[in-house]
Structure 1
Amino acid sequence: MSAVDAVIDEIRRQIHEGEWVPGDRLPSEAELTKTLGISRASLREATRALVHSGLLAVRQGDGTYVVAVDEAAVTLSRKIMNSKTSEVLEVRRGLDASAVPLAAVRRTEADLTALREALDDRQRSAEAGDLDSFIEADLRFHMAVAQASHNELLIDLYASLNVPFRKSLGGAMGQGTKEHEALYRAIERRDTEGATELALAIVARMEPPEHP
């Protein structure tokens, strides 16, 4: 293993094990070269590789910071950000088909409270014409649906799509109020089939029209 590869592995290990966490600034070059026993050239090459992979970021005049823990998650995030809206919505349809019936079965009173609060905020924002608040409330409502599934993997996958979901809501101000209210009621009464149909109908309404 080369000196550069050894440094990459060591920095990656310290990040994975929580010795450095996102937001932490790495020690100075002088400190790292001394503690790791390598040259500045090897350290800089290793740092460049980790910046490229998404674990580190260099802030000019300030230092090198940890910005992520998992390179696979960074790669997925980049892929999601570059995906077409239609592809994102197709994935969301699949996630909703899994998360919504689970939410209808597993939801708690606390889950219903979170859903109700987000839904009320959504309605108030629509009436006030506040697009940013409307989008935030809409995202919070659907995230609350995912959280009501009590499936951690589904929740994480849903959260990873929040930014592209946001992009798809730019022209949705005030739309779907009845459908969202009906979805809430279906989850409240544990109607798995009805809730799933409503959730998929909401996604279908967001999809761009097909061109011949």
Structure 2
Amino acid sequence: MSHDDFLVAPLHTPPAYAAVVERIQRALTLGLLVPGDRLPAERALSQGMGVSRVTVREALRVLQGEGLLVTRRGSGGTTVAPNIDGLRGADSGHEERVREVFELRLALESTAARLAAERHLEVDLDELTACQAAMARSTDVHSFRRADSKFHLTVARMSGNHLLRQAIEDARAVAFSTLDRRSFTPLQRSSIHDHAAVLQAIERREPPAAADAMMLHIVRARAEVESILSHTEQERALHRRGERTP
């Protein structure tokens, strides 16, 4: 394609409601919205996203049609459906994609931790400490996923690099879409210490230690997730063989 062809190629602009759908789906995928959460009112969503209330309603209708949101009659509120696991891809057992995602996270999030240790403000530390405390208090997978995402996205924001922050959000969205709920249960038990080490290094303004702590955390998480997915694939293989047995 020549540069002239590139410049005059037609633009394909998606409808406004599609952007709202994508924003809410991203929050669901990252675990920032969990089953039972109530969404802000239409007016708040409209003002916050800079779109009309008609656009918001259309987006909510699409998400309700996909079974991701439910509307409570009487209260008029919209909440996240009890079971949103269908949002994840069917290829959750593909180890190759998991490997790629974690390799990307190693590069991006260790850099973010190093920059956060150099550039953070005290108010940032308060928020990061609250995220780590929420993880320690979490009693179920959904509350852990929410706190975990907030922790990592807060570190990304503290880096002061907007492109890096967006790349980390994108990588984590791919990671979450690749995994299912069971993959987070062992992480819930093992990562509390890892996150505390990242927080401590950032608080002390020790960039190399912060990067190392984040890398160690992601390497451990990758090993645990790969072990779970391998076991899941073995179970599926046994089930398939059982179905073929006369």
In the alignment, what sits opposite 1:9?
10
Cα distance per residue 1:128-149 (max 9 Å; x no partner): x311101110111011111100
In the alignment, what sits opposite 2:164?
154
Distance in 1, matches of 2:11 and 2:218, equals: 44
Cα distance per residue 1:46-76 (max 9 Å; x no partner): xxxxxxxxxxxxx7xx9xxxxxxxxxxxxxx
Deviation at 1:151, TM superposition (A): 0.2
In the alignment, what sits opposite 2:184?
169
Out of 86, 91, 98, the position equivalent to 2:104 is 91
On the 8 A contact 1:123/1:174 being kept in 2, the answer is no
On the 8 A contact 2:118/2:205 being kept in 1, the answer is yes
In the alignment, what sits opposite 2:77?
none
Pairs aligned (count): 145
Distance in 2, matches of 1:101 and 1:10, equals: 39
DSSP 3-state at the match of 1:9 = coil
On the 8 A contact 2:104/2:171 being kept in 1, the answer is no
Q: TM-score, normalised by structure 2?
A: 0.51
DSSP 3-state at the match of 2:187 = coil
Q: TM-score, normalised by structure 1?
A: 0.59
Unaligned runs of 5+ in 1: 1-7, 25-58, 63-77
Distance in 2, matches of 1:164 and 1:136, equals: 16
Alignment pair present for 1:137 and 2:138: no
Q: Which residue identity does 1:198 align to in structure 2?
A: A
Cα distance per residue 1:172-203 (max 9 Å; x no partner): 12212222112101101100111111100001
Deviation at 1:84, TM superposition (A): 1.0
Greater relative CO (CA pairs within 8 A, separation 6+): 2
Q: Which residue identity does 2:127 align to in structure 1?
A: A
Out of 197, 220, 235, the position equivalent to 1:182 is 197
The structure number with the bigger radius of gyration is: 1
Two-structure CA RMSD over aligned residues (Å): 3.2
